Chains A and B, each alone.
Chain A
């Protein structure tokens, strides 16, 4: 079974042109097959059929709030505690707040955020609507302890 792209991906751009900064979020362990589907889709010339991309290794995505290098657990970047003095409802509100702000900070910084659902075998690009409607945040929090981030910086194949 291979990953299916939901809603299209479009061009992710190239690092030297101000784009190409991509953060994959897996609701479990990193799976190379998902990134392979994304780069094949986004960096293949539709007319020529040629693939034009190189990836920096290591890759590092930095915003004013976060620094993410290659593959790391979500919980090492997005710090959320279950505080015993708070009710379940209060803990949930705090967790949702931090998760939304984390995602919005990445988007505001021009990072392409791609969610990989390992259970559904689907991939989609995260936008503000997905962050605000709540489903994505719920899914992330459900897998908070085992979700994985994978940062990539893509560039033209001859630029690396």
Chain B
């Protein structure tokens, strides 16, 4: 299991999978998850469920990569701001 320091190091190094292998405790740490999704939005997949429904985390992930939409919680799937952010991000990448 990765320590918090190891996860932070991986985030700083730009690892795409910094949260992979981290404990549930770390994957529930909002600041850590925010830092990770700002580097790679798809890290949202490893976030604990409550953070997949946290709009601040989700918007940060979508800003980085619209494809992170796949990992948002069902409760946000009718939020126009979230959906439009995803589409906008996908368009920027296209």
- A85, CB-defined interface residue at 8 Å: yes
Whether A90 lies near B70 (C-beta < 8 A) is no
CA distance A98 to B78 in the complex (A): 12
**When the two chains form their complex, are residues A101 and B70 in contact, meaning their CB atoms are under 8 A apart?**
yes
Complex CA–CA separation, A83 to B85 (angstroms): 14
Pair A81/B87 contact, Cβ less than 8 Å: no
Q: Which residues of B contact A93 (CB under 8 A)?
A: 87
Q: How far is the CB of B45 from chain A (nearest CB, A)?
A: 8
Interface residues of B toward A: which range?
Answer: 10 to 19
- Are the C-beta atoms of A83 and B70 separated by less than 8 Å? no
A85 touches B69 (CB 8 A): no
Say how far B26's CB is from chain A's closest CB, in angstroms.
18
Tell which of A80, A86, A94 has the most Cβ of chain B within 10 Å. A94
Band of interface residues on A: 10 to 19
Which of B74, B83, B86 has the largest number of chain A CB atoms within 10 A? B83
Cβ of A160 under 8 Å from chain B: no
Interface string of A13-26 (1 = CB under 8 A from B): 00000000000000
User: Does A56 count as interface, using CB distance less than 8 angstroms?
Assistant: no
Q: Which residues between 74 and 94 of chain A lie within 8 Å of chain B, taking CB atoms?
A: 79-81, 83, 85-86, 90, 93-94
Contact A97 B80, CB 8 Å, known A79-B74, A90-B87: no
B69 A81 Cβ-Cβ under 8 A = no
Distance A113 CA – B70 CA, assembled complex (angstroms):
19
B74 touches A83 (CB 8 A): no
One digit per residue, 1 when the CB lies within 8 angstroms of any chain B CB and 0 when it does not, for chain A 125-156 equals: 00000000000000000000000000000000
Chain A residue nearest in CB terms to B80: A85
Measured in the bound complex, the distance between the Cα atoms of B75 and A79 in whole Å is 9
B84 on the A face (CB < 8 A): yes
Tell me, yes or no, whether B77 is within 8 Å of chain A by CB.
yes
- Nearest 3 pairs of A and B residues by beta carbon: A85-B80, A81-B78, A101-B70
Chain B positions near chain A (C-beta within 8 angstroms): 45, 69-70, 74, 77-80, 83-84, 86-87
List residues of A whose CB falls within 8 A of some B CB.
Answer: 64, 79-81, 83, 85-86, 90, 93-94, 97-98, 101
